[in-house]
Every structure is written in C-alpha cells, then in structure tokens.
Amino acid sequence: MIFKLKPLILLAVFFISFNSLWSQEEKLFKDSLDGAFDLSKWLIDLNGFIPIVSPITEPAVGYGAILAGVYFIPKEKSNNKEFKMPDIVGGGGGYTQNGTWFVGAGYAGFWKDDHIRYRGILGYGDINLKYYGTGDGFLSKDPADFSISSFFFLQQALFRIKNSGFLFGARYIFGKTTVTFFEESKLPEVNPLDFDLVNSALGFISEYDNLNNILSPTKGFRTHLSYVQAFEILGSDRNNSRLTFFSLAYLPINKRWASGFRVESMLASDNTPFYLLPYINLRGVPALRYQGEFTMLAETEQMVNVYNRWSLVGFAGIGTTAASLENMEFGATAWNAGGGFRYMIARALGLQMGVDVARGPDDWAFYIVFGSAWLK
C-alpha cells in the first residue's frame, strides 16, 4: 500500500530502456577484470535520468508493471577514491491486473560519509485487496474484497554514532485513508472509524548495522528496533502504536557459500486500523493474508556461488500470528520454501539481481529480486 523507494532504486539498475543503454559505448558495460556484462561504471559515472520498466509480482494484487524514473546524484570523489553511495531521487507509478494503481516519489540520501541516512516518500494509491481477518473465523476461508485509497507521506533520518555501526533517529508518518468494501463482500467486524481515517505518527528508531554491503550483503549483522505512535494531538483520528523488531545475520561459510538468517516480530495496539495490523511477510505468502496484533517469523537463505558471477539461492521460513494481545494465543501459521538464482550485475557496488520462485501455504509465486530479498 505504500510507495517504497528502496525497491525503486534497485529496479533502476536493470529495468531501463534498452535503446538508451546501448547507445553508450559498449566498453561502459564490460567489467575491466573479467570482461563480463557489468553496470558498475555506468552507475557510478551516471549523471542523468533513467527510465524504468519493471514487473509487479506480488500475489496480493496480481501481476502488473511499474513505470518510473530515477536520477542518481553522485558524490564528489575523495582522495582515496573510495566509492560513496549516491543520493537517489525517484518517481513513478504502477498498475496491476486487479485494478490496483499507485503513484509516488521519493528521495534517499547518504550524507556525511554515510553518517546521516535520510529517506523521504510521498505517494497515493488505490489498492484492491482481500481481508482474511485475524483469526480462524469465516473470513479466513471467505475473505472480504476491499479497496483502500491512501495518501502517504514519510520523513525519516538516522544518525550514526561516530564511526560505529550504531544509528539512532526518528520518523514522521502521515496517512489519509478511505476504505470501501465491495457490495458482494461480507462486511467483516472492523471498527467503522477504519473506513475513513487520518493517521499521524511519530516514531523512534535504533539500529546496529555492520553489513559489508547495503544492497546485497554477504557478511555482517543488522538489528533494528523501532516504535511508532500515532497521536491525536498530531492530527490522528485516534491513538495507536506499533513496535517492530528485526535482525539479519549473514555468515560466510567459505568463499562460495553465504548463509543468511532473519528473525522479525511486530506488535500493534488493539486500536490499530485493520489494514495496518502486522502480517506474515514471507516470499510466497500474499501481503495481508495472515494478520494479527502480534506476528513473528524466522527465515533462512543459503546462497552458493556456482560459476563466476552466478549463484544459486535456496530459502525457507515460517511465521505465526496472534489475533489479540489479551490472550496471546497463536493462531494462523504460514510457511514458505523456494529457490532462485543471482547474477552480480554491478561488481563495484556488490549488487546482485535475479529471480526467486516461492511456494507458500496457498500457492506459488515468483519475484524479480534486486539486491537482498530482505531489504527494508
């Protein structure tokens, strides 16, 4: 439901205009070390607008496409010629087969030698989804179709503590949402205030991040804890809150094998709008399919390099929900398993791309992956 900047940034790496790409000198796309197709030089030296065409493969909204553009703002090179992550400005929109559409724009900044990380997003969307409820009631087998029209605005900044891996910061989120249930759907028992709601929230973030690469890490840890509170004093129609924790670990077994692990948990207050409740977020599991006031999940991903820039990936995970904080009885459980491949598309950036095929409790799904599948 939210226009996410980071996937848009990564999609710019590959899904660009073919004619524009090859109108440049061919040597721009060959790596100086192995002669393989590589976008490092083109990305690092780029000073212009990039058109993007990318598929949407999220099972919750069906297949579709994104049309967008991204502008890279390079940093001045230092004396040691160390690569510095460019700032990125992006904007565009998308449409899917179930009538979902969205537009948005965003800015990602990496300032002061990555001592300040800024993110700003503005977007609007009409998203058609299914509501399965939070327990084992009739909705779990007979979901209600609904449409959510939402305006979204986010401002976020993280500040690094000296040269350590610790970052602290804050975010502000504003959302104006209107929900419509289709006539043929059975109206679920949700708070009527959820149908037309303003949410204005302030959040606090703490992180530890020593990953060896922002986009496609293979070594290191990232741990995140954040608390977001919507206040009536800030303009919200009612108070609600969410606590989020996740931890990522990448452990290189040897030169060819990298082992990844992810744990994640979310906790929401009992007056959180139904469409903002936590859900099990795994490949192969549709968004919002398994919701509750509390969720937790674990997933592993194993990547083995098989030839030069090519690697194979296997993954599996499991998650569970609790419908209410009052009893904390765990209800719905979902699992996933699958595999795919990766290609090192930009060696200097350590950026990989590829395809994943995943199986969940209900169906199969495939994903175009840029960078890590766990990027947030």
Looking up residue 113, the CATH number of its domain turns out to be 2.40.160.50
**Is the pLDDT confidence value at 45 over 90?**
no
Q: Does residue 301 lie in a domain region? A: yes
Whole-number average pLDDT of the chain: 87
Q: What is the pLDDT of residues 342-365, one digit of tens each?
A: 999 888 878 899 999 999 998 899
Q: Does residue 256 lie in a domain region? A: yes
pLDDT (0 to 100) of residue 343:
96
Nearest CA-CA partner of 253 in 262, 245, 261: 261
pLDDT (0 to 100) of residue 278:
95
Distance CA 348, CA 216 (A): 12
pLDDT (0 to 100) of residue 2:
39
**Beta strands in 253-293, from DSSP E residues, in sequence order:** 257-268
pLDDT (0 to 100) of residue 268:
96
pLDDT (0 to 100) of residue 269:
93
Task: Yes or no: say if 5 and 106 are a contact pair by the CB < 8 Å rule.
Answer: yes
**Beta strands in 97-143, from DSSP E residues, in sequence order:** 101-111, 116-131
Give the residue-averaged pLDDT of 117-132. 95
Distance CA 112, CA 101 (A): 36
**Is the pLDDT confidence value at 163 over 90?**
yes
Residue with tokens 């299914």, as numbered in its chain: 130
Per-residue tokens: 270: 């009992």
Q: Does residue 102 lie in a domain region? A: yes
Residue 324 pLDDT class (50, 70, 90 cuts): confident
Q: What is the pLDDT of residues 236-288, one digit of tens each?
A: 999 999 999 999 999 999 999 999 999 999 999 988 999 999 999 999 999 99
Per-residue tokens: 67: 């049309």
Residue 94 pLDDT class (50, 70, 90 cuts): very high
**Is the pLDDT confidence value at 222 over 80?**
yes
Number of separate domains in the chain: 1
**Is the pLDDT confidence value at 8 over 60?**
no
pLDDT (0 to 100) of residue 215:
85
Residue with the larger pLDDT of the pair 144 and 306: 306
Neighbours of 270 (CB within 10 A): 9
Q: In the Cβ-directed half-sphere of 353, how many Cα atoms lie within 13 Å? A: 18
**Is the pLDDT confidence value at 4 over 50?**
no
Write down the pTM of the prediction: 0.88
Q: What is the pLDDT of residues 66-82, one digit of tens each?
A: 998 878 787 776 666 66
pLDDT (0 to 100) of residue 318:
98
Distance CA 285, CA 299 (A): 13
Residue with the larger pLDDT of the pair 24 and 37: 37
Q: Does residue 345 lie in a domain region? A: yes
Give the residue-averaged pLDDT of 277-301. 95
pLDDT (0 to 100) of residue 1:
41
pLDDT (0 to 100) of residue 347:
87
Q: Does residue 376 lie in a domain region? A: no
Give the residue-averaged pLDDT of 203-225. 96
Give the residue-averaged pLDDT of 92-108. 96
Q: Does residue 310 lie in a domain region? A: yes
Give the residue-averaged pLDDT of 21-33. 66
pLDDT (0 to 100) of residue 52:
74
pLDDT (0 to 100) of residue 193:
81
Give the residue-averaged pLDDT of 25-42. 77
**Is the pLDDT confidence value at 49 over 50?**
yes
Distance CA 301, CA 257 (A): 11
Q: What is the pLDDT of residues 267-280, one digit of tens each?
A: 999 889 999 999 99
Q: Does residue 342 lie in a domain region? A: yes
pLDDT (0 to 100) of residue 56:
87
Domain assignment of residue 100, given as a range: 5-370
Residue with the larger pLDDT of the pair 263 and 184: 263
What does 186-205 look like in DSSP terms, one character per residue? Answer: PPP---GGGGEEEEEEEEEE
Distance CA 243, CA 105 (A): 26
What are the contacts of 101-104 at 24+ separation with CB within 8 A? 101/125, 101/126, 102/3, 102/126, 102/127, 103/3, 104/3, 104/152
Exposure string over 137-169, b if 16+ CB within 10 A, otherwise e = eebeeebbbbbbebebebebbbebeeeeeebeb
pLDDT (0 to 100) of residue 361:
93
Q: Does residue 375 lie in a domain region? A: no
pLDDT (0 to 100) of residue 74:
75
pLDDT (0 to 100) of residue 18:
44
Length of the chain: 376
